[in-house]
Amino acid sequence: MKTDNGGQQGLIPAHELILQAPTWFEKAIENKPTDHFVAFRGSEIHYSAWQGPSAEAANIVLLHGDGAHAHWFDFIAPLLTPYYNVIALDMPGMGESGWLQSYSRDIMAEAMITMIRDAGFTSKPAFIAHSFGGLVGLLTAHHYGDELAALMICDFHVKSPETHHEWYADIKQARPTRVYASRDEAEARFRLAPEQPCENHFIVEYIGAHSIRQIEVGENGRRGHSDEAGWTWKFDPSIYPGFVVGTDLPEIYRTIDIPMTAMFGADSHNFDAVTRTDVIAHMRSLRPDVPHYDVAGARHHIMLDRPHGFVASVITQMENWRAGGAFDQ
């Protein structure tokens, strides 16, 4: 492969890109999860599960961002399984999950709790949710908080109603994703979203390889109709027209009734320095009890930039929650 060092990857000097996967990464992805599918709203949704030290160990649920998939955690989950049971979810219309007739933030939350219930945990899990997943995590905790032990939102920003912007307001209709003639061509066009450079190019390549699917002319199972054959992205473009994030997130964040924390990439470009200061101050004003973590050297996609820093932050917070009785049922 694969990825052509285009987009923001081109901002990193070639000699600073890490192309060869290190041993820890190769060993992590050898630890394969079991795949599970659950019926949901006339389709099916997918999650991956890694067994921890025992069925009685604390449980972690990992949730990806917009247009991403559970494979973003293939190299993260095995670093957590010495201590915890772990599942990684595919949102409806993303990853290996089927497509739905309609989408909303509440439907996404309903899908999350459906998969969590199917996992058969012996105790309530902690929900670790990145980016757009942070929105879904907040809604899941808002609607189903009595089934969760705790919530960590990762580089997701709760803005005031005055500064709120609907992410998908400019998307008026769904357009089919581009179809490429070959797998290599599709993988070479992969970009992180939102875009950012990432020195760990071997991770970007791994994510890209799991972001595409082969399609045929006609119907493609629960993933829509195509007029072309080839390779395209896994996500459903019909998610976005009409999808409302909502101006009520500050009130939802303020009233979540389970332990929470917020993790940020210290170098995240998801907002500039002034906005970053304002957003974090706003979040702290809403919930002064919520701890904040900055992962040094990480941009928005924290688990790609600093996977071990991400894992260390999760473990630290899990043990803080454990000490505070969050997992006592």
- CA atoms of 2 and 187, how far apart (whole Å): 5
Helix (H, G, I), strand (E, B) or coil at 191: coil
CA angle 194, 76, 41 (to 5 degrees): 70
Amino acid type, 257: D
Per-residue model confidence (pLDDT) at position 104: 97
Q: Which two tokens stand for residue 250?
A: 């500050």
pLDDT at 271: 64
Rounded to two decimals, what is the model's pTM? 0.94
Mean pLDDT, each 10-residue run in order, the chain (329 residues): 56 85 98 98 97 96 98 98 98 96 97 97 97 98 98 94 87 90 96 93 97 87 79 95 95 98 90 74 96 95 98 97 93
Half-sphere exposure of 236 (CA within 13 A, CB side): 24
DSSP secondary structure of 155-180: S-----TTT---TTTT--S--PPP-B
Count other C-beta atoms under 10 Å from residue 315's C-beta: 16
H runs (alpha helix) in 166-216: 183-188, 201-209
Question: Which pLDDT value is given to residue 257?
Answer: 97
In angstroms, the CA 21 to CA 111 distance is 34
Name the amino acid, one letter, at 79.
L
Residue 7: the pLDDT is 63
Token code pair at residue 185:
């061509």
Q: What letter does residue 65 receive in the DSSP assignment?
A: -
Domains and CATH numbers, the chain: 7-323 (3.40.50.1820)
Residue-wise burial string across 67-99, b where 16 or more C-beta atoms lie within 10 A, e elsewhere? bbbbbbbbbbbbbbbebbbbbbbbbbbbbbbbb
Nearest to 91 by CA among 136, 36, 49, 153: 136
Q: Which of these, 104, 164, 113, lies nearest to 142 by C-alpha position?
A: 113
Report the alpha-carbon distance of residue 63 to residue 95 in Å, rounded: 11
Q: Identity (one letter) of the amino acid at 217?
A: V
- Where does the chain show beta strands of DSSP type E? 34-40, 43-50, 59-63, 85-89, 126-130, 150-154, 212-215, 218-219, 225-226, 230-233, 260-265, 292-295
In the chain, alpha helices (H): 23-30, 77-80, 105-119, 132-144, 183-188, 201-209, 249-255, 273-286, 302-305, 307-323
Give the pLDDT of residue 1. Answer: 41
Token pair recorded at residue 297: 């050297």
> CA quadruple 70, 13, 276, 320: dihedral positive or negative?
positive
